[in-house]
Amino acid sequence: MQLQTEIERAVALHRRGQLHEAEQLYRSILRAAPQHFAAAHGLGVLCLQRGTPEQGESWLALATRVNPGSAGAHHDRGLALRSLGRLEEAIASFDTAIALRPDFAAAHYHRGNALLRMMQSEAALASFDATIALKPDHFAAFNDRGNALRELNRLEDALADYERAVALRPDQAIAHCNLGFALQDLGRFDEALASYNRAIALDPALHQARQSRGTLELLQGRMTEGFADFEYRLRSDEGALDPRLRSISYWSGESLGGKSILVYSDGAFGDLVQFCRYLPLLVAQGAQVALSAPARFHRILGTASLGVRSVSSPAEIGTADYRCELMSLPYLFKTELASIPSCVDHLARDPERTERWRKTLPADFKVGICWQGNPARNIDAGRSIPLTAFYPISRVPGVHLISLQKHHSLEQLHILPAGMQVETPGPPFDDGADAFVDTSAVMANLDVIVTSDTGVAHLAAALGRPTWIALRYVPEWRWLLGRADSPWYPTVRLFRQKRPDDWISVFEEIAAALQEMVASRPAV
């Protein structure tokens, strides 16, 4: 009877938010009765609320062992496991909760959320559908189902869910921000801007909304406003910043004469290639510059030719007078469309490999192709292209297609349409520790590179090779709108979708341009 009174008091304290007192009482009960289900369950939930999910998971695991028939305990353990990044185990806990109580809307929702984090967007939809069927006014389910649909490039469906989320909770800034994403992807730019502005007005601390507004401004060529707003990505990422960097002052444009600066990048390879052009501007100010980037990219980036030291992590440099994120340099140098620095010819070239690949590759007109980015990156939705879409260019007389694709979607090479042939360079191709060294050597022997919006596009363009990029209806911000050239790369030609998901007309246009290029090639 006394334990029952104490657990009732602990639960009451917990509900009133008196967490310290509730924790002490839960622990006292568990010392007296180590298998007490309600105390273990309550203490586990309290630990989650206090931001200690590892302890919470331990107590909730005990609760599920003591009472395996408690759907609530399995659900709450799933929340703890999700917080710890143990997503498959979290889904198993949510599944158990749902098996015990099929109408458990929260378990369906959190299961979908975990699947979404695992990039299993299609599977997540079923869980969000189940949540909404049980609770038609579930704001978070509509919002997250919109996220899943957007990752699947089902933009109109995503838009409808975001609109429903905004209608349910017009006070939620994240819903307006997500609505802005969908509107921007659909080319409804004025409405997207209004949604971002509304999100910022509701929650000025929602840095994602500022960053997203920045991408829209940059897409429209408004560099000053765009790069200023784009800086808010740094505030979103502060928690993930290497602790060793936080002790170094962030560079805001101070004189660099005789000073050292560590430039770091968490971006993809394409970002490294595009923005390394700013490093010579730092060197010109008299700075000792170190670039922190993954070791596999050091050789191809060729930073030594720029007077820049490459390191694999901040620990390698020890300390520096200043630090700066690579993608902040356009903002700090006040970049406008007319003042974009030229793409410095710094990328590494290996003459021996270039000659070796020249002897290996066919003699006819060679077109390098790449169709898939990294599917693990959210921004890949809509940018990658089915290999079969390249079929029209394979029919251009005299053209030989060479695959530059690595790692992802190589299985598409085995299901080509009749008459389409794509040559692969073979096992030695970029198999070493240095990424893209063979790719650059192959590119040196190609007549043109046709690619989706990937790191391969940046590499080919930075090497000065003729580079044709097939872009989705609303491309990433760096490719701007309504133009066939790029101020970032002089040898790039852009081919744009005129309607969402329409790759057919894009590749028909590319095939026609390629036919002209082949016809104008001097006879050998």
pLDDT tens profile 1-32: 578 888 899 999 999 999 999 999 999 999 98
Which residue type occupies 160? Answer: A
Please tell me the distance from the alpha carbon of residue 403 to that of residue 442, in angstroms, as a whole number.
10
Residue 308 in this model has a pLDDT that exceeds 70: yes
The DSSP result for 71-126, as a single string, is HHHHHHHHHHHHHTT-HHHHHHHHHHHHHH-TT-HHHHHHHHHHHHHTT-HHHHHH
Q: Is 204 in a helix, a strand, or coil? A: coil
In this prediction, residues 502-511 reach a mean pLDDT of 97
Q: What is the pLDDT of residue 425?
A: 86
More confident residue, 314 or 209: 209
Predicted confidence at residue 408, as pLDDT, reads 81
Q: Which of 376, 388, 426, 433 is nearest to 406 (CA)?
A: 426
The pLDDT score that the predictor gives to residue 380 is 60
Q: pLDDT tens, 395-411?
A: 999 999 999 998 888 89
**Chain segment 471-486, per-residue pLDDT in tens:** 999 999 999 999 999 9
What is the average pLDDT value for the chain, to the nearest integer?
93
- The order of strands in the sheet holding 322-325 is 249-250, 322-325, 260-264, 288-292, 308-311
Among the residue ranges 74-78, 86-90, 215-219, 241-245, the one predicted with the least confidence is: 241-245
Q: Which amino acid is at 195?
A: S
At 383, is the pLDDT very low, low, confident or very high (cuts 50, 70, 90)? confident
Residue 240's pLDDT band (cuts 50, 70, 90): low
Residue 161 has pLDDT above 80, yes or no: yes
Q: What is the mean pLDDT of residues 391-397?
A: 96
The tokens of 4 are what?
């029952």
What DSSP state is assigned to residue 186? Answer: T
pLDDT at 123 over 80: yes
Q: Could you write out the DSSP letters of every residue in 27-78?
A: HHHHHH-TT-HHHHHHHHHHHHHTT-HHHHHHHHHHHHHH-TT-HHHHHHHH
Residue 239's pLDDT band (boundaries 50, 70, 90)?
low
pLDDT at 354: 92
Interior/surface letters 137-151, b for 16+ CB within 10 angstroms, e for the rest: ebbbbbbbbbbbbbb
Q: Where residue 378 falls among pLDDT bands split at 50, 70, 90?
A: low
Residue 264 confidence (pLDDT) above 70: yes
**Is 70 exceeded by the pLDDT of residue 137?**
yes
Cβ atoms of residues 214 and 226 within 8 Å = yes
What the block records as the tokens of 458 is: 């940046």
Could you tell me what percent of the chain has a pLDDT over 90? Answer: 79
Contacts of 473 (CB under 8 A, 6+ apart): 187, 382, 496, 497, 498, 499, 500, 501, 502
Between residues 177 and 374, which one has the greater pLDDT? 177
Question: Which whole number is the average pLDDT over 283-294?
Answer: 94
State mean pLDDT over 498-512: 95
Q: Between 408 and 103, name the one with better pLDDT.
A: 103
pLDDT at 237: 67
So what's the pLDDT on residue 321?
Answer: 95
Residue 265, pLDDT score: 85
pLDDT digits (tens, 9 = 90+) for 309-353: 999 887 777 789 999 999 999 999 999 999 999 886 778 888 999
pLDDT at 247: 84
User: Of 382-386, 439-443, 450-454, where does mean pLDDT reach its minimum?
Assistant: 382-386
More confident residue, 379 or 133: 133
Helix (H, G, I), strand (E, B) or coil at 471: strand
Distance CA 195, CA 209 (A): 9
Q: For residue 231, is pLDDT > 60?
A: yes
**pLDDT reported for residue 524:** 56
| pLDDT of 376 above 70 | no
How much is the pLDDT for 410? 85
Q: Which pLDDT score, from 0 to 100, does residue 150 have?
A: 95
List the domains of the chain with CATH numbers.
2-136 (1.25.40.10), 241-339 (3.40.50), 351-519 (3.40.50.2000)
| Rounded mean pLDDT, 45-74 | 96
Distance CA 243, CA 227 (A): 25
